[in-house]
Structure 1
Amino acid sequence: MGTEKYVIVYAAGKQLDLLRSEAFRIAKAAKAGWWTDRAEVGTKFCFEDAKAKDTFAHACNNFGITCREG
């Protein structure tokens, strides 16, 4: 698939549910796929589209959820 576009978030429970919904909405608008994987610490949200990844990272910041882009 080439270079992975992902954001690792440090959230759990309802915050993680909120982020899953947001990732779905962003990926659908971009007509791109997305999925989650476990990270060493946190959850990795992977996107097929770089712009969708950037939008998701911005949404995390807006929600006040700590994240790290990869």
Structure 2
Amino acid sequence: MAKEHCLIVLAAGRKLDLLRGEASRVAVASKLGWWSDRAEVGTKFCFEDATAKDNFALACDSFGITCREGSS
């Protein structure tokens, strides 16, 4: 994979489960892969495409969950 498009999300418990489901939905709709990993603070969600990452960021906003750009 040439480049990762990542966001750091500050969520735990059910909110994190909700975001994992949303990340999966966004990735399936884009026909791309995604993964999550622990970050120093929060959880890092990475996508194979910038558009998928942007759609995931919109979902985070709609759920009222804080996210920020993550390093690639």
TM-score above 0.5: yes
Q: Which runs of 5+ in 2 are unaligned?
A: none
Contact 1:57/1:69, CA 8 A, preserved across alignment: no
Q: Which runs of 4+ in 1 moved over 4 A?
A: none
Matched, 1:65 2:56: no
Quote the RMSD (CA, aligned, Å): 0.8
Q: TM-score scaled to structure 2, two decimals?
A: 0.92
Q: CA deviation at 1:13?
A: 0.2
The total of aligned residue pairs comes to: 70
Which residue of structure 1 lines up, in the alignment, with residue 13 of structure 2? 13
Partner of 1:4: 4
- Displacement of 1:4 in angstroms is 1.6
Distance in 2 (CA, whole Å) between partners of 1:47 and 1:37 is: 12
Aligned to 2:29: 29
Match of 1:51 in 2: 51
Unpaired runs of 5+ residues, structure 1, are none
Q: What's the % identity of the aligned pairs? A: 71
